[in-house]
């Protein structure tokens, strides 16, 4: 479920979709996930990396990741 190639992200966590003109502000963790998606990591790999780095129950992370991916989909930021 990769990020669309033309999506622009900045170090400060801003996301711009040039096809729709929409801009978004991502918090640091969301920006980290976006960077991993942009680098081509799949969701399982991202989940594993986050579990390793953060003190979070697996089911909570899964829930938050699902929610985040749903948001990215609804904002038309992911490849179909």
Partner 1 sequence: MLTIALTGLNATDSPGAGVAVARALREAPGRAVRLVGLSYEPLEPGIFLPDFFAKTYLLPYPSAGSAALLERLTYVQEREQIDVLIPCFDAELAHFIRLEASLKALGIRMLLPTANQLASRDKLRLAEFGAAHHLPVPATHALHQPADLPAAAAALGWPLVLKGRWYEAETVHTAAAAEAALLRLAARWGWPLLAQRHLVGQELNVAGLAEGQGHLLSAVPMRKLTLTDKGKAWAGITIEDEMLTELAQRFAEASRWRGPFELELLRTAAGELFILEINPRFPAWIYLAAAAGHNQPAALLSLALGEPVAPFGPVAVGKLFIRCAWDLIADNEHFQLIAGLGEV
User: How far is residue 53's CA from residue 49's CA, in Å, rounded to a whole number?
Assistant: 6
Q: Show the tokens assigned to 15.
A: 């996301």
Q: Note whether 5 and 75 are within 8 A (CB).
A: no
**In the complex, least distance from residue 66 CB atom to partner 1, rounded to whole angstroms:** 23
Termini Cα distance of the chain: 8
Residue whose CB is less far from partner 1, 10 or 48: 10
Which residues contact partner 1 by CB under 8 A? Answer: 6, 8, 16, 18-21
Comparing CB distances to partner 1, the nearer of 19 and 45 is 19
Cβ-based nearer residue to partner 1, 23 or 71: 23
């Amino acid at each position: 479920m990769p990020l669309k190639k033309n999506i622009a992200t900045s170090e400060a966590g801003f996301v711009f979709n040039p096809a729709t003109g929409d801009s978004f502000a991502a918090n640091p963790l969301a920006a980290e996930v976006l960077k991993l998606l942009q680098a081509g990591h799949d969701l399982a790999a991202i989940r594993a990396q986050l579990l390793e780095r953060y003190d979070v129950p697996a089911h909570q992370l899964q829930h938050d990741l699902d929610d985040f991916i749903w948001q990215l989909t609804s904002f038309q930021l992911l490849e179909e």
